[in-house]
Structures are given as C-alpha cells and as structure tokens.
C-alpha cells in the first residue's frame, strides 16, 4: 500500500534520477519503498551507488547506512543481505544535501572466479513506491 503523500514512479534502470519526479529543490529527505518477490530464500548482494547519505532496510532490519558525501559510482556499497521466499520490502532513506541526488540500486548474486565476482539477478517482480518528507 502506498503511504499517504507517496508517489509512484518507474525506474527502468538501476539508477534513479530523483529530480525527474521530485520537484523540490535543495536539501531533502526521500524514502523509497520497494517490494520484491523472490521465488526462494537466497543470499544476495545489494549494490548501492550514492553521492549522499542513505539508510537501507530489508524486511524491517537496518542493513546498511552511510553518512558520507562521495562521487557516485554504481558499486559504492556492496551489501550482503538475505531475501526470504515471497514478498520482501526494501526501504531506502535518501538524503540530498545539495542540488542533485545520485542513487542506484541493484540486486546481484556472488559468482566465484568470474571477473566481477557477481552477476545481476533479473526476473524478481517489483513494485516501487516513494514517500516525500
């Protein structure tokens, strides 16, 4: 269910351009809520790219946080997590301290002896919701 004041948006790629759907300028706090359905319980790697602080919860458990402002890269944070079979809720609290917020999110699995040591997991059904604060 979309919380009161929330907006739906579609992000076909891993990178989310907040300014395209969130019109407020300057410093802000945004919450992204994403429900993901996994066909089985599995260990995953959450790949987060950011240029400002964030907190990330998986199924109500704080999984990662960063307070640093940095240069965005798609793999700023490689976070181990466990998805349960069925519906999983991922909540991201994003902080924008300047004019631009760069944030990306992807789910991968470990692949030993490969050049990247991971591969993206595709095919998980997903619903993304946002809440403005």
| Of 34-48, 60-74, 95-109, 117-131, the least confident | 117-131
List, as own/partner pairs, every contact residues 18-25 make where C-beta atoms lie below 8 angstroms and the sequence separation is at least 24, other chains included. Answer: 18/94, 18/96, 18/101, 18/103, 19/100, 19/101, 21/130, 22/130, 22/132, 24/132, 25/99
pLDDT per residue over 1-22, tens digit each?
Answer: 556 666 666 666 677 777 777 7
User: What is residue 4's predicted lDDT score, i.e. its pLDDT?
Assistant: 65
Q: Domain locations in the chain?
A: 15-132
CATH superfamily of 15-132: Galactose-binding domain-like (2.60.120.260)
Separation CA 28–CA 119 (nearest Å): 33
Of residues 127, 124, 48, 43, the one with CA closest to residue 93: 48
**118 near 111, Cβ under 8 Å?**
yes
Q: Is the pLDDT of residue 127 over 80?
A: no
Residue pair 106/14 in contact by the 8 Å Cβ criterion: yes
Of the listed ranges 17-26, 69-78, 103-112, the least confidently predicted one is: 17-26
**129 pLDDT more than 50:** no
């Amino acid at each position: 269910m979309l919380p009161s004041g929330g907006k739906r948006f579609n992000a076909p790629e891993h990178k989310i351009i907040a300014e395209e759907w969130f019109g407020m300028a300057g410093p802000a706090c945004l919450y992204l809520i994403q429900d993901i359905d996994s066909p089985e319980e599995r260990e995953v790697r959450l790949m987060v790219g950011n240029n400002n602080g964030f907190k990330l919860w998986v199924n109500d458990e704080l999984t990662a946080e960063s307070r640093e402002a940095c240069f965005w890269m798609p793999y700023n944070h490689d976070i181990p997590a466990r998805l349960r079979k069925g519906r999983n809720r991922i909540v991201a609290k994003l902080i924008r301290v300047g004019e631009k917020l760069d944030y990306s999110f992807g789910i991968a699995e470990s692949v030993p002896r490969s050049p990247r040591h991971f591969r993206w997991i595709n095919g998980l059904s997903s619903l993304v919701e946002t809440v403005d604060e």
